[in-house]
Amino acid sequence: MESAKLGKWWDSLNASFWFVPSLMVGLAIGLSFFTIGLDHRLKPDIISNVSWVYSLGPSGSRAVLSAIAGSMVSVATTAFSITIVALQLASSQFGPRLLRNFMQDTGNQVVLGTFISTFVYCLMVLRTVNESEGREFVPHVAVTCALVLAIASIGVLIYFLHHAASSIQVDNIIKAVGEDLEAAIQRLFPETTEHSFSSQPAADMPADFNRHSYPVNAKDDGYLQAIDQGQLVQIATEHDLVIQVQSRAGRFVVQGSELARVFPKDKVNKPLTAQIEKAFVLGSKRTNQQDLEFSINQLVEIAVRALSPGINDPFTAVRCIDQISATLCQLARRDIPSPYRSDDQAQLRLALPSLTFVDVTDAAFNQIRQNGRSSVAVTLRLLEAIAVIAPFTYRPADRAALRRQAQMIERGSQDAIAEALDRQDIQTQYAATIRAIEQL
């Protein structure tokens, strides 16, 4: 398993607007030194024989480079302004937690990087143009490369205008969140479980664990973003311990609350406690590194906002329900990893709070059901989604969770929907949903 801290570091870089543009600026500086060096090594008669190479004098070269550099600054400013507007629209319409998805958009990062790196490249080349008599130097190859970058920037600008318009469309936003959610499922719920994930019965926990265990407390407030399970297993194996994690990724912990308990307590000291604390990554916000419910909550937030009286857009809520149903179908087919981790000798070393299909189902349906109980379209689609998910479930607890959600949806509709025929349609769909669950 990759280091949790490394994963957090990479996630923060991937969600920044400076990392990719900075890399591209570094490449532009390197390209400027390469092309200028090439100009110094090539003889003038060789350059003059190549028709496509820029061939004007120093004053013309300065004018071209200055024009490209100035236009790139203006275009970069415009592109950044459009990005800010898109971020503001996404924050107000779909929720502030979706800003992270726009920040992670590689297309936006590359566009900004292209404009800035072209500007820097032109400045680096412009400083070498010399008009002094006897020392005149015009970097023809470098200026030609600047023209190529300017043409490429025009193509990037056209792409950006299309990308910015399409990225704020609700269907594309929901699809992007759904892809992140599917990637998180594949990462956290592998189709084939490894030996370290083999099932370990709860009876293997020491009988006097609670009495003879030592608490490891959080030093700061924040969201538990990730847990380095491999590091905890290694620590427990080296010191012959059993560690029980008290909270799963995505939960908010306060300073002084228990992160884990270590057994036996007579082997615990301050250096060991410090090592265990480093395996828990805390931050000011939730991420999807190990938190599956985070991406689920993003879809739920879009649906709940769409159902608010100020927006009143049940079509968007229905689209979110469709994406959630596809996700739960995928999750239902996968094995839930055991919460127990053992060493190479099959000795229990780590116990984790488990995230089950039941937990994800409640997170996916509860708020939409509560806020959409008066909408016939949303109520019907929720029942249809449960009927779609049911054939993919094979654990009795999963089917019980779906049945419980269907029953709550049906009861809520009877109280919130006044039209008798609408209630009759819901009853028909509810009966079909229960049949789909019971057929298994």
Interval 360-399: pLDDT, tens: 999 999 999 999 988 999 999 999 999 999 999 988 999 9
Question: At 194, is the pLDDT very low, low, confident or very high (cuts 50, 70, 90)?
Answer: very low
pLDDT of residue 49: 57
Each residue's pLDDT tens digit, 67-106: 999 999 898 888 778 777 777 777 777 777 666 767 778 8
Instruction: Check whether 201 has a pLDDT greater than 50.
Output: no
Q: Which residue ranges make up each domain of the chain?
A: 4-168, 203-283, 291-337+354-438
Q: Is residue 289 within 8 Å of 8, Cβ to Cβ?
A: yes
- Choice among 51-65, 160-174, 219-233, 307-321 with the minimum mean pLDDT: 51-65
Helices (H), 279-373: 292-306, 314-332, 357-371
205-225: average pLDDT:
86
d(CA 262, CA 214): 5
Question: At 359, is the pLDDT very low, low, confident or very high (cuts 50, 70, 90)?
Answer: very high
Instruction: Check whether 192 has a pLDDT greater than 50.
Output: no
C-alpha distance from residue 320 to each of 99, 174, 262, 307, 371 (Å): 18, 7, 42, 11, 14
Each residue's pLDDT tens digit, 216-236: 999 889 999 888 888 899 999
- Choice among 63-72, 203-212, 286-295, 310-319 with the minimum mean pLDDT: 203-212
The tokens for 322 are 């469709």
Each residue's pLDDT tens digit, 33-61: 999 988 888 766 555 555 556 666 788 88
pLDDT of residue 202: 46
Question: At 23, is the pLDDT very low, low, confident or very high (cuts 50, 70, 90)?
Answer: very high
> What value, to the nearest 5°, has the Cα angle with vertex 366 and ends 363 and 369?
145
Residue 355 three-state SS:
coil
Instruction: Check whether 1 has a pLDDT greater than 50.
Output: no
pLDDT of residue 59: 84
- At the fourth CATH level, the homologous superfamily of domain 203-283 is Pyrimidine nucleoside phosphorylase-like, C-terminal domain (3.90.1170.30)
- The structure's pTM equals 0.79
**Which class for 77: exposed (0-12), middle (13-18), buried (19 or more C-beta within 10 A)?**
exposed
Instruction: Check whether 207 has a pLDDT greater than 80.
Output: no
pLDDT of residue 324: 94
Each residue's pLDDT tens digit, 125-152: 999 888 776 677 878 888 889 999 999 9
